[in-house]
Amino acid sequence: MPNQHLNGSTIENNQWSIAPEAAEQTTRLAEQTQLQVADASATSTLQTLETWATAAEKKNLLVSGDAEVADIEAAIGAAGQAPEVIFIDFPVFTDGRGYSLARLLKRAEWFNGKLAAIGDVLQDQVYFFWRCGFDVIVPRHDQNIENCQKALNSFSHVYQPAVNNPATKENKALEAEPA
Amino acid sequence: MYQYNQVDHQVIKERVAQFRDQTQRFINGELPLAEYLPLRLQNGLYVQRHAPMLRVAIPYGLLNSAQVRKLAHIAREYDKGYAHISTRQNMQFNWPALEQVPDILEELAEVEMHAIQTSGNCIRNVTTDQFAGVAHDEVTDPRAVCEMLRQWSTFHPEFAFLPRKFKIAVSADAEDRAGVKVHDIGIKVRRDDGKIGYDIYVGGGLGRTPMIGSLIKEKLEGEFLLPYLEAILRIYNRYGRRDNKYKARIKILVKALTPEVFAERVQQEFEIIKDGDLHTSQEKLEYYESFFKLLVEPLTADTLSSVKATLEADKAADPAFANWVQRNVRPHKLDGYANVTLSLKCTDIPPGDVSDDQLDAIADLADEFSKGQIRTTHFQNMVLTDVQEDQLKALYSKLVPLKLATANTGYITDIICCPGGDFCALANAKSIPVAADIQQVFDDQDYIYDLGPLDLNISGCMNACGHHHVGHIGILGVDKKGEEFYQLSVGGSSKDNASIGKILGPSISREDIAGAVKKVIDVYVEQRHEGEDFLSTLERIGTAEMKERVYAKPAS
């Protein structure tokens, strides 16, 4: 499969490398995704909360789904620089903690960057990611990127407000109300 | 009832297409079993002992006659001619072929039905009192709130991969027929000085670790219901255990944190989101309410007295009919109308099973007698509401040949029973034959009535689908070195006085279990005071004598 991700609804080439420090997570992500550890051809590197303070490049922060928002804020505050993208790690696709973390980060005043989903990221979750505010979706290595792109349009309407429809204009109950 | 608009129709169609694609990818080998599993579960599809089982959603147990005819058609064309009503008011088909499931879903979509979120680790179909909207003892019609929750929870993007399944029940009636204290979230509707408020219970549930829910919020206003529930779910999704599926339900988190601390955390999140997108305007609440109007008009004084006179004359002329009215007919909000339970607990048919022909007939009867609407119940029966009392005799006469007039609603033979080892892959033991044994032991109707209302619940394993913990008498199937044994408990209740039954002693063999139930009942009959019900007697005398009687060594 091509080394690509979704940025919004656009298919783009991956340009990231994984920092070697977080041993277990690093090895797993290298297996699950197309990204490589310390990839010299990459233009940018994912750093963890532990390495953030000392990292030379502070663009991409990788966090676990169970990370506390306060801890992320503290690490970023200490380093004096907020990331452009926070990557939320889904070690297994059934672990849904990252969806809630995404919603909390999206409303955090100190963070205006993008959110990315990475790890055991599957076609059939893409729609949920997108609605919870993930801007970037990095599918697992064996997923078909065009099918992931199509999955953004799984449903034409939604039943509840979420991040990508903050006003309830899309909400059917309002639509269906008598004028 | 709620009517689909164009948007609902579109979404359900898109869901069928999505699931057809997922199933095709699985059949083609493109989607591994482990990844297909949660997708099929969230569409109500289990793999069972003999074939897949498809659980169709019946939102808060409300159906129209067209839907019932469609269910009859599906039972006939895709199954073996019957369906099964679950304790959460849904309908299950035990024999569909996997590759035909998308076709079944497409047929269901034609009548505004689906199988969305009837299984899996997500928010399940919301349940309520089977008499919601027509009950004489309710503070308001809870169905508008149920529909609001249905829409909020359908494909909720944040809560599709919760630590474990999540069940919500709403009750607005005096005795709590929905069992709100044994659900992950229970919503008890109240009215204080004319104002509607919602008491929120959290962390109740059955299964391996039965618990009674804790009250964490009182008198919540309707406009804040969705933000408050979203806050509960967010805390649970973030902090519920994921390392052990047997400790993953919200009840374990609530207990570990204590209900007070859990409530504080929810409150913190609630304060942030309460006035946000989920805040529900009065206008919108009224929009939901607009779908649930009474289907009948108050009768004039003249008509009422003639209706009453007819009913009395019918009862006087036919004692069997009079008895059925006494046992299976419940009062309606409006005088002159009644709500009728169709018992699916006839002795020679598994509890909760209903045939295709019965379903077709029920649909016709609904059109004729109950404004085309039908309910399914937590007790695995069906209900026709809004029947004018002078029509009861005509309805009864048509129910008798259909075997739907067994006059045992609420009595010991009105058994709640899971499909058990005959169908379910999880079960340790069979439950249907045990129900049949017990129904045979208690085959004297007058004796059954003399015992008074009695809940007897049977589960084939500790997942407790048959709600054995909250039966006045509960039976749990266990596996002992490959043999089926049954644990007997007494004193459970799912009603307002909710409690978990106490296990009487060592498990009992299949051939002895019905006899053991009889011994427990014998002790009750001997010890009860005039007019005292089973639970009250038990509370007074304790379990010692029942224990002694059940486990007495036979004289050699």
Is B124 contained in some domain?
Answer: no
Smallest CA–CA distance, residue B275 to chain A, in Å, is 12
Residues B147 and B50 occupy one common structural domain:
no
Residue B469 exposed, middle or buried by CB count within 10 Å (0-12, 13-18, 19+) = buried
A108 touches chain B (CB under 8 A): no
Q: Which CATH number is A4-176 given? A: 3.20.20
**CATH number of the domain bearing residue B281:** 3.30.413.10
Find the CB nearest B158 among A103, A122, A174: A103
Q: Output the furthest CA–CA distance in chain A (Å, rounded).
A: 60
- pTM comes to 0.94
Q: How many CB atoms lie within 10 A of CB B18?
A: 18
Q: From A156, which residue of chain B is nearest by alpha-carbon distance?
A: B11
Whether B335 and B22 have beta carbons less than 8 Å apart is answered as no
Of B498, B131, B52, B488, nearest to B337 by C-alpha is B131
Q: Which of B130, B212, B217 is nearest to B175 (CA)?
A: B130
Same domain? For B68 and B212 the reply is no
* Structure confidence at residue A1 (pLDDT): 66
Whole-number Å distance between alpha carbons of A47 and B114:
44
In a domain, B120, yes or no: no
Strands of the sheet containing B82-85, edge to edge, are B45-47, B52-56, B91-93, B82-85, B353-355
Question: For residue B556, is it within any domain?
Answer: no
What total of structural domains would you count in chain B? Answer: 4
User: Which residues, in sequence order, are CB contacts of B337 under 8 Å at separation 6+?
Assistant: B134, B296, B299, B386, B387, B388, B389
In this prediction, residue B555 carries a pLDDT of 66
B415 Cα distance to chain centroid: 13
Residue at B432: amino acid letter: I
Reduced to 3 states (helix: H, G, I; strand: E, B; else coil), residue B384 is strand
Contact present, B380 and B87 (Cβ < 8 Å): yes
Q: pLDDT tens digits, residue range B366-420?
A: 999 999 999 999 999 999 999 999 999 999 999 999 999 999 999 999 999 998 9
Q: Report d(CA A43, CA B473) in Å as an integer.
A: 68
Nearest to B5 among A128, A155, A176 (CB): A176
How does residue B556 score in pLDDT terms, banded at 50, 70 and 90? low
Q: What's the confidence (pLDDT) of residue B46?
A: 87
Whole-angstrom distance, CA of residue B112 vs CA of residue B68 = 11
Q: What is the CATH number of the domain that holds B378?
A: 3.90.480.20
Q: Which residue of B has its CA nearest to A68?
A: B238
pLDDT tens digits, residue range A59-111?
Answer: 999 999 999 999 999 999 888 889 999 999 999 999 999 999 999 999 999 99
Touching check for A132 and chain B: CB below 8 Å?
yes
**pLDDT-derived band at A19, boundaries 50, 70, 90:** confident
Closest-CA residue to B127 (of B81, B80, B185, B74)? B185
User: Does an H or E element contain B482, and which?
Assistant: none
Domain range for B374 is 311-399
Same domain, B372 and B436: no
Mean pLDDT of chain B: 95
A170 CA to chain B: closest CA distance, Å? 10
Residues B431 and B373 in one domain: no
Cβ–Cβ below 8 Å for B155 and A96: no
- Give the minimum alpha-carbon distance from A38 to chain B in angstroms, rounded to a whole number: 30
Final residue before a domain boundary, out of B366, B399, B432: B399
* Chain A residue closest in CA terms to B18: A154
